[in-house]
Structure 1
Amino acid sequence: MTRAIRLGPRSVAALALVSAVGVAAFGWPFLAPPSAQVNAHAQDAPWLFAGVLVLLVAVVAATISESGLGPKAVAMLGVLAATGAALRPLGAGTAGLEPMFFLMVLSGRVLGPGFGFVLGSVTMFASALLTGGVGPWMPFQMLSMGWFTMGAGLLPFPDRLRGRAELALLAAYGALAALAYGTIMNMAGWPFLDPATTNLGPAPDAGLATNLARFTAYCLATSLGWDTGRAVVTVLLTATLGPPILKALRRATRRAAFEAPVTFDGLTGSDDRTRRGLSRPDPGPARRAGDGGRRE
């Protein structure tokens, strides 16, 4: 069992850069000095969104150039993104019932981490346009979903991992990643809490340990129920719909990639001319005897 789309050095560099930008965007409240203005973070969202789009294009370009994929693969990426965006409104986020996450897990598994990251980000962008969820939180959703899908592509691919073992791995990853997605997204809204009105908000004058404790309490009090529902739905859909979808995705990915060019090794000069149609080989004595000795 091999990956349909492999990562090259340029793809790895582009993914590392966009992930570094995302980690800085999410994690700065924990390391901000007491003099920092938390509300100034809201003004960074448009710039972060523009930077994410540029880096997504870089990831796509690097992956395509290194893997030999062409328009068919990009079209398949668009189809999967549109499908994921259409799945999101079905649950509307009610009690964490979000069926799009299981498709991201399966697609990331097949497409690999590079295209998986782009697929997750583009899917979240398209779903935000579809549901009217455009706002300063959107670039953070794109980054989080990109990491979610990329992680599925980074899972191990041993030959013995087939069938139920693979589904169990994907289901377990989907559950953990669904919980992690909700936790990461909490980091986008948590800095806006007013510490004067709640003891769950960030405390600029406190240290890292205090802010981590407050953030953990905030997650447990606000989003744990939603995140658990998302994890359960992802596991159930992965276990039930995973086998046919994985098979279809792998088949579509093989057909989307360009076929390997045909090469002729060890040909002599006359054989090479024959292959290119420049000359025809001698049909041999048997052929000449059968057609009355006529030569073309």
Structure 2
Amino acid sequence: MALAVVSAVGLVGFCWPFFVAPGSALDSSHSGDAPFLFVAILPLLAAIVLSELTSGGMDAKAVAMLGMLSAVGGALRALGPGTAGLEPSFAVIILGGRVFGRGFGFVLGATTLFTGSLITGGVGPWLPFQMMAAGWVGFFAGCLPRAEGRTEVGLLAGYGFVSGLVFGMVMNIWFWPFASYGPEVSYVAGDPLAANLQRYGVFYLTTSLLWDLGRATMSLLVLALAGSALLRALRRAARRAAFDVPVVFQR
């Protein structure tokens, strides 16, 4: 329920410009609603953690692991800005979601982008949208089918590549409806969906694809080369922390 609510809030934040009549008071930019979206996301992330705690999906040790991985991912994100989109932090988000589950992955994605933005000074109206999109990356990493050995590493590496591209596609939507780059690549309110999708496709191929390929390729390489070792390390940490072992008090 908590994951559904926060995802619905994120979808509304991304998509409302496509349902507003041209020339209305809301038809300006996300600079006005982004702070409200950010304020809405934070308590919902806390609600996800609380629901995981009460349902047994996480415990205090898992929350500590969440904080540690968020800090590591945020520090790695400092390597990305201005470096052809190379962002190794996405590998951390994917591995966290894979090992610790969907709720953990969603919160890890959001907090990693938040931490990285504080470290790099990249705080702006785009931040809540980045948090939501990265949260979905971690969530769907936790939804991947069961696999073992090289098959699992290959699955994660492929997912890392695809999610790196999809993250960029989704993130463009936070500003594309308001941008004006020319009639061939800009959103036209009231036009058929197919026409606007074609314009967005041209916009993505000409402006964003190369940057997103850097993110996708970096995620693929990190997961393909170090994914097996990192999975073992995280799972070993989970076993030693005994996340799933119930506490039994003895006299």
Same fold (TM over 0.5): yes
Aligned to 1:187: 173
Structure 2: state its 5+ residue gaps. Answer: none
State the distance in 2 between where 1:54 and 1:93 align. 31
The answer as to 2:175 corresponding to 1:203 is: no
State the distance in 2 between where 1:39 and 1:209 align. 23
Please give the residue correspondences for 1:63-82 in structure 2 after superposition, counting only pairs within 5 Å.
63-67=52-56, 69-82=58-71
Aligned to 2:101, what secondary structure does the other structure show? helix
Shift, 1:191, TM fit: 2.1
Please give the residue correspondences for 1:18-37 in structure 2 after superposition, counting only pairs within 5 Å.
18-36=6-24, 37=26
State the distance in 2 between where 1:80 and 1:215 align. 34
Please give the residue correspondences for 1:51-90 in structure 2 after superposition, counting only pairs within 5 Å.
51-67=40-56, 69-90=58-79
Shift, 1:258, TM fit: 5.8
State the distance in 1 between where 2:201 and 2:224 align. 30
Aligned to 1:24, what secondary structure does the other structure show? helix
What amino acid does structure 1 have at the position aligned with 2:103?
A: G
The answer as to 2:168 corresponding to 1:168 is: no
Shift, 1:251, TM fit: 1.6
1:68-102: CA deviations, max 9, x gaps? 63322111110000000010112325212111111
Tell which structure's C-alpha radius of gyration is larger.
1
Name the CA shift for 1:99/1:40 in 2 (closer, same or farther; >3 Å).
closer
Aligned to 1:103: 92
- Provide the TM-score with structure 1 as the length reference: 0.79
Q: Is the 8 A contact 1:171 1:234 kept in 2?
A: yes
Aligned to 2:138, what secondary structure does the other structure show? helix
The answer as to 2:129 corresponding to 1:140 is: yes
Aligned to 1:41: 30
Q: Is the 8 A contact 1:85 1:123 kept in 2?
A: yes
Shift, 1:232, TM fit: 1.1
State the distance in 1 between where 2:62 and 2:42 align. 19
State the distance in 2 between where 1:247 and 1:93 align. 32
State the distance in 2 between where 1:203 and 1:180 align. 22
State the distance in 1 between where 2:85 and 2:206 align. 15
Structure 1: state its 5+ residue gaps. Answer: 1-12, 264-274, 277-296
State the distance in 1 between where 2:17 and 2:127 align. 18
State the distance in 1 between where 2:158 and 2:57 align. 32
Aligned to 2:107: 118
Name the CA shift for 1:147/1:92 in 2 (closer, same or farther; >3 Å).
same
For these two proteins, the number of residue pairs brought into alignment is 249
Aligned to 2:180, what secondary structure does the other structure show? coil
State the distance in 1 between where 2:129 and 2:57 align. 30
State the distance in 2 between where 1:68 and 1:97 align. 32
State the distance in 2 between where 1:92 and 1:133 align. 9
The answer as to 2:230 corresponding to 1:245 is: yes
State the distance in 2 between where 1:123 and 1:69 align. 18
